[in-house]
Amino acid sequence: MKIIKHLYILLILVSTLASAQVKFDAKPSKTKLGINERLRIDFEMNQDGDNFNPPDFNGFTVVGGPNQSVSNSWINGKRSFKKTYSYFLAPKKRGSFTISQATITIDGETFKTTPLKIEVTAAVDIPKDPNDPNYLASENIHLVAEISKTNPYLNEAITVVYKLYVSPKIAVDNWNEIDSPRYNDFWSQNINTQGQKVQNGTYNGEDYRYLVLRKTVLYPQKTGKLNIEPLTLDLSMRVPSNRRDIFGSLLMTRVNRTVSAGNQTINVKGLPEEGKPADFTGAVGDFKLNVSSSKTELDATESLLLSVKVSGNGNLKLFKLPKISLPSSLEVYEPEHKEDVTTNLSGMQGSISDSYTVVPQFKGKYPIPSISFSYFDLKSKSYKRLTSNEIVINVLNGPSNNAVASNANQAANSNKQAVVLNNDQFAFIKTKTNFSAVKPKYFFKSSTFWGLLLLPFLAIPLAIIIRKKKATRDADVSGNKIRKANKLARKYLSNAKKALGKKEAFYIALEKALHNYLKAKLQIETNELSKDKIKSLLAEKCVEESVIKDFEGILESCELARYTPIDIVTMQEDYDKAAKTISLIDKQAR
């Protein structure tokens, strides 16, 4: 009998020790997956701990998590506890990978999980399960790169427009670029797309909403096949599930997905060699040439501006303007380059110019020879040449250039005139002057003197008026109470206002603001915040029943908004209602 009793006690001790054993495991959703699939790993423990350290997840990108869940239950007097950290991973490449150990500290002792072997294969067909959130996300969202032309000429403008197509069935909460195209071998210019609105369109014959994310103008700088790198986005979205809430509406499931526009290849054609001018500098488009002078008649040592300007449509920033050739007796300074160019979806438009400052030294007539400019015309697919008219500069007054006259034959052959130095070419302007007043001014009896003397007397009635207004404001008890209530409402709702447009963050901040206000106003603790308790305390403070119902309605909205789609208009209405209700409570409460 004693042996049976001892065995029974031993059995109880063994079962107690077994129930108290700590378990810490890593559980993958699958050990073999395609490169286009997602992997979920749950780290589970049966006792709460501290200092949880996940593994480094080599070979994978963390696209979601950590999501934490805790379950605590009592069944037949026995406690059951489970805490889980969940991670969602996307493989970076094919191969075999090892998920290393995770660690946690429980009761001062460190526990580790067993390493996991994961095999990543080639892409697999995603099962067409209409209830699978990942399948719904892949079928209802698309990132597309639309290229205006796939076989342009060298230095011909093309555009790339990135559009995100989203089905009306799902909702995108947030997105961010994780990989931006770098446009190697292109001159590129991004066009501002801020303020773009969601538009309605079709994709593969179905109705979609789309948003233009980026517009870029490209000018290829090499011939042959050039690669346009893809734009890659990480999207946080909500897709419908097969579950419904207490009101019968479909519950939304949050999904993270990476989408890419894919690599695009264009074939760049070289410019034809036949008929190519010797002075061609790479201009491609449709242009006009204008050479002008600010003056055609002037005196020696005066200056004029000579402008060489090319305007039109094309690669204006990617070629050089032709140079002018002037006689040596005309002093020429380095040109000032100006660009007045705008870039839109059709490419560069505007003008570029070089402005030369020219100073003649001697009187006479100086011809400025015509200059030419050649470019490749995309419409006719041929080279064209533009030529300016000759301009004659007539210098009326100034010293004669005798050296040039005596060497006329040499000047005719060289088309240059000799420069004769003259020490009196320029009369410099003084940059500083010293002026003194004819009649001295005195401070005594001046307007400043009388103004400063009368200023204290003018300030006395102003101070009396300000003091009376302050006394009137202090006596307005009702008005002060309203202003204080409005200020208090703005104080508690400031964080919620900053989160407008972000549904979850907004309603969490709004609910926290309401709770903090009640704790401060009613002087209660967090564990006492129940609907019945709040209602009774507000009623004791003589708050009107309609105001109490509005307050309860806002709290219910905060709870329901986490599970239902909400637009920014509804958020603004809830914010305004909360501010008004807090103000009324603070005004009525006694």
Quickly count: other Cβ atoms within 10 Å of residue 303's Cβ: 13
pLDDT at 277: 92
**HEC sequence for 271-317:** CCCCCCCCCCCCCEEEEEEEEEECCCEECCCCCEEEEEEEEEEECHH
CB–CB of 126/139 below 8 Å? Answer: no
Residue 156 binned pLDDT confidence (cut-offs 50, 70, 90): very high
Q: Which residue is it, tokens 């994780």? A: 178
pLDDT at 287: 94
DSSP state of 440: -
Lowest mean pLDDT among 1-10, 150-159, 369-378, 422-431: 1-10
pLDDT at 445: 73
Residue 570 binned pLDDT confidence (cut-offs 50, 70, 90): confident
pTM flag (> 0.75):
no
Residue 135 binned pLDDT confidence (cut-offs 50, 70, 90): confident
Q: How many CA atoms lie within 13 A of 32 on its CB side?
A: 3
- The model's pLDDT over 272-293, given as tens digits with 9 standing for 90+, comes to 999 899 989 999 999 999 999 9
Average pLDDT over residues 131-147: 82
Please say if the pLDDT value at position 186 is more than 60: yes
Residue 481 binned pLDDT confidence (cut-offs 50, 70, 90): low
Quickly count: other Cβ atoms within 10 Å of residue 438's Cβ: 5
pLDDT at 489: 58
Which residue type sits at 485? Answer: A
pLDDT at 495: 74
pLDDT at 291: 93
Q: Cα–Cα distance between 226 and 217 in angstroms, integer?
A: 15
pLDDT at 409: 40
Between 539 and 313, the more confident residue is: 313
CB–CB of 500/510 below 8 Å? Answer: no
Cα angle 275, 278, 281; round to 5: 100
Interior/surface letters 252-288, b for 16+ CB within 10 angstroms, e for the rest: bbebbbbbebeebebebeebeeeeeeeebeebbbbbe
Nearest Cα neighbor of 349 from 381, 314, 380 is 314
CB–CB of 337/326 below 8 Å? Answer: no
Q: Which two tokens stand for residue 484?
A: 């204080």
pLDDT at 464: 85
pLDDT at 404: 43
- The model's pLDDT over 77-105, given as tens digits with 9 standing for 90+, comes to 677 788 888 888 888 888 899 999 999 99
Torsions phi, psi of 195, nearest 5? 85, 5
Q: Cα–Cα distance between 39 and 62 in angstroms, integer?
A: 10
Q: In order of start, what are the domains of the chain with their CATH numbers?
A: 24-121 (2.60.40), 133-268 (2.60.40), 287-397 (2.60.40.740), 477-588 (1.20.120)
CB–CB of 101/47 below 8 Å? Answer: no
Q: Which residue is it, tokens 């009613």? A: 522
Lowest mean pLDDT among 4-18, 394-408, 478-492, 520-534: 4-18
pLDDT at 488: 60
Average pLDDT over residues 46-59: 86
CA 333 centroid distance within chain: 44
Between 199 and 75, the more confident residue is: 199
Lowest mean pLDDT among 237-246, 309-318, 339-348: 237-246
| Percentage of the chain lying above the pLDDT 90 cut | 24
Average pLDDT over residues 176-192: 87
Query: Taken in order 212, 213, 218, 220, is the CA torsion positive or negative?
Result: negative
Rounded to 10 deg, the angle between the 568-588 and 503-522 helix axes is: 0
Distances (CA, A) of 458 to 462, 463, 468: 7, 9, 17
- The model's pLDDT over 327-346, given as tens digits with 9 standing for 90+, comes to 877 888 889 999 999 998 88
Between 252 and 236, the more confident residue is: 236
Between 128 and 538, the more confident residue is: 538
Nearest Cα neighbor of 133 from 252, 43, 8, 46 is 252
Residue 14 binned pLDDT confidence (cut-offs 50, 70, 90): very low
Q: Cα–Cα distance between 31 and 29 in angstroms, integer?
A: 7
Between 567 and 427, the more confident residue is: 567
pLDDT at 313: 94
Name, in order, each residue with C-beta under 8 angstroms of 573's C-beta and a sequence gap of 6 or more.
none
- The model's pLDDT over 202-212, given as tens digits with 9 standing for 90+, comes to 888 888 999 99
Average pLDDT over residues 539-556: 80
pLDDT at 355: 93
Between 269 and 423, the more confident residue is: 269
Nearest Cα neighbor of 305 from 329, 332, 326 is 332
Q: Which two tokens stand for residue 581?
A: 């209700």
Which residue type sits at 479? Answer: G
Between 586 and 360, the more confident residue is: 360
Name, in order, each residue with C-beta under 8 angstroms of 254's C-beta and a sequence gap of 6 or more.
173, 236, 237, 238
| Percentage of the chain lying above the pLDDT 70 cut | 83
Please say if the pLDDT value at position 242 is more than 80: no
Please say if the pLDDT value at position 270 is more than 70: yes
**Beta-bridge mates of residue 377:** 382
Please say if the pLDDT value at position 487 is more than 50: yes
In terms of DSSP bridges, do strands 206-220 and 158-166 run parallel, antiparallel, or are they unpaired? antiparallel
pLDDT at 284: 94
